[in-house]
Amino acid sequence: MTEPLYILSSAYSGDEAAWTEGLTGAYHSNPTEAWEIPYNFRRLDKMVAGAVEAAIEAIQKSGLKTEDQAGLNIVGVSHNGPCIYSEEFYGELVEADNPELISPMLFSESVLNIVPSHVAIALGAKSGVFAFTTDLVNFFDIFDTLMLLAATGSWGAGLLCATEEFSPLATRLFRGCDAFPGEAFIDGALVCAFSSAPLKHSDAVGLTVSTTSNHDEALAAMRAICAAGGRVFPSAYSDAMPLDEVSVEAPLLSLEDMRTQQGFMVSRLAEVVKLVRHADAHTPVVLLQSVGSRWKWITCKHAVS
């Protein structure tokens, strides 16, 4: 069995919205005031600035020492990625009636790893930098990957940075897609500090991931968790779940809010953060997702010191 990944702390920076309440203590309208911009930053936008500030706050709350920052692994995950600068830059060419000058790659400002690489530069982290892009359904797979990497023994601690940026054009495109029924698209950065082992004097929560394509196996697992006094929370992104004889809690994210607001990877990580806050040392809490024939769940339990 894979050893748990330990969640140490979290912090949010971005748009002020009701569904993000409780993720951190404050909303930051000007993230760059909190830290000095490194000279070797390629560029700085709200997405990067918010991720850096949330990373700094998460480290301060985690129990990690300042001297540990150089060894941190920085992991970024985004569905949409950076787009505002590119849209403004190429939009000028379109307005000037010079569309033939536009690169079809849009590579110059839409690179996938811009957030984790800039967070690493700002913190002086010199270990691994990883970037993932995924859809809403497969977000839990990120934790599978982190646990496998931690199991190699080469990982100590790191930061998981979920970030999204929505330009006016991207927002219009998503609003026209049935898969994203939201009316408001929320920019922001949510960062979790994690480690392969609980830190002394920290409030770490152990996280494991389980997967099955067998409904009866998933049902048996949820029954066992409930029988042990655990709590099962359905993901807001899950299909309807036929779980007979299993007491299921209300979703951690409001389904009504999710019909009107979208945060993509930020809101997906927000579910996990909220699950962590329900964990205790005696009984597990579970975030359960069912999509098609695939059942996947995250189990959290406080580390016993």
- The residues facing 132 across adjacent strands are 77
* Cα distances (angstroms) measured from residue 127 to each of 63, 91, 153, 158, 208: 19, 37, 13, 9, 24
pLDDT-based confidence at residue 202 (cuts at 50, 70, 90): low
* Per-residue model confidence as pLDDT tens digits over 38-86: 656 666 777 888 899 899 999 988 988 877 888 999 999 998 777 777 7
Give the residue-averaged pLDDT of 208-221.
93
In 20-140, alpha helices (H): 46-62, 84-95, 114-123
State what percent of residues in the chain have pLDDT above 70.
Answer: 80
- What is the reported pLDDT for 156? 83
pLDDT-based confidence at residue 225 (cuts at 50, 70, 90): very high
Q: Which residue type does 53 have?
A: E
Half-sphere exposure of 181 (CA within 13 A, CB side): 8
Domains and CATH numbers, the chain: 5-195 (3.40.47.10), 206-302 (no CATH)
Give the residue-averaged pLDDT of 250-262.
70
- What is the reported pLDDT for 160? 96
pTM: 0.86
* Per-residue model confidence as pLDDT tens digits over 124-153: 998 889 999 888 888 999 999 888 888 887
- What is the reported pLDDT for 27? 39
Helix (H) or strand (E) run with residue 52 in it: helix 46-62
- Asked if residue 265 has pLDDT above 80, the reply is yes
- Asked if residue 23 has pLDDT above 50, the reply is no
- What is the reported pLDDT for 198? 83
- What is the reported pLDDT for 304? 63
